[in-house]
């Protein structure tokens, strides 16, 4: 009886450890997850334009990264209550390459970032300064 239990135990151990050591099945059906480790390219050509009618618009060229899901717009607003001096103006990423809002009429310094479908954010663009009192035509007023 004891030898029968040892044989069964041996068979179980062989089956368990054999699978661990050798593997189970064929790797052909196994798909590896696609890792999104490439950095998101920063948008380029960022400018701020004020028109004579008072319309202020930030524009930029699309990020060259694939799978870009949108862009975040940031304004410089230092505060001792936050670690970052730039605050996000957009509640959700914008899908287009321009942004216009009444908040821009106050002027200031602005930056743009791109987001990919995995939620990774690019480095910010160089800041653009918008002086609402200096533009009397559709002239870029960037720094």
| Domain with 135 in it | 44-140
Query: Residue 21 has what pLDDT?
Result: 47
User: Residue 91 sits in a domain of what CATH number?
Assistant: 2.60.40.10
E runs forming strands in the chain: 44-50, 56-61, 68-76, 86-88, 98-99, 108-116, 128-130, 139-140
User: 19 is written with which tokens?
Assistant: 């699978």
Query: What's the number of domains the chain is made of?
Result: 1
Q: Looking at the DSSP assignment, which residues form a beta bridge with residue 56? A: 50
In a domain, 21, yes or no: no
User: What's the rounded Cα separation, in Å, for the pair 105 and 84?
Assistant: 22
| Helix runs in the chain, H state only | 2-22
pLDDT (tens digit per residue) in 65-96: 988 999 999 999 988 888 889 999 999 999 99
Whether the predicted pLDDT of 126 surpasses 70: yes
Q: What is the pTM of this model?
A: 0.66
31: in domain: no
């Amino acid at each position: 009886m004891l030898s029968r239990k040892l044989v069964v135990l041996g068979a179980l151990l062989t089956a368990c450890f054999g699978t661990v050591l050798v593997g189970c099945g064929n790797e052909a059906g196994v798909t590896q997850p696609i890792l999104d480790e490439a950095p998101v390219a920063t948008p380029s050509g960022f400018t701020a334009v004020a028109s004579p009618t008072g319309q202020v618009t930030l524009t930029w060229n699309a990020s060259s990264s694939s799978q870009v899901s949108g862009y975040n717009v940031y304004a410089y607003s230092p505060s001792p209550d936050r670690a970052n001096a730039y605050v996000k103006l957009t509640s959700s990423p914008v899908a287009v390459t321009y942004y216009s809002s009444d908040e821009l009429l106050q002027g200031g310094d602005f930056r743009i970032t791109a987001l990919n479908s995995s939620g990774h954010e690019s480095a910010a663009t160089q800041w653009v300064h918008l002086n609402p009192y200096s533009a009397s035509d559709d002239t870029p007023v960037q720094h």
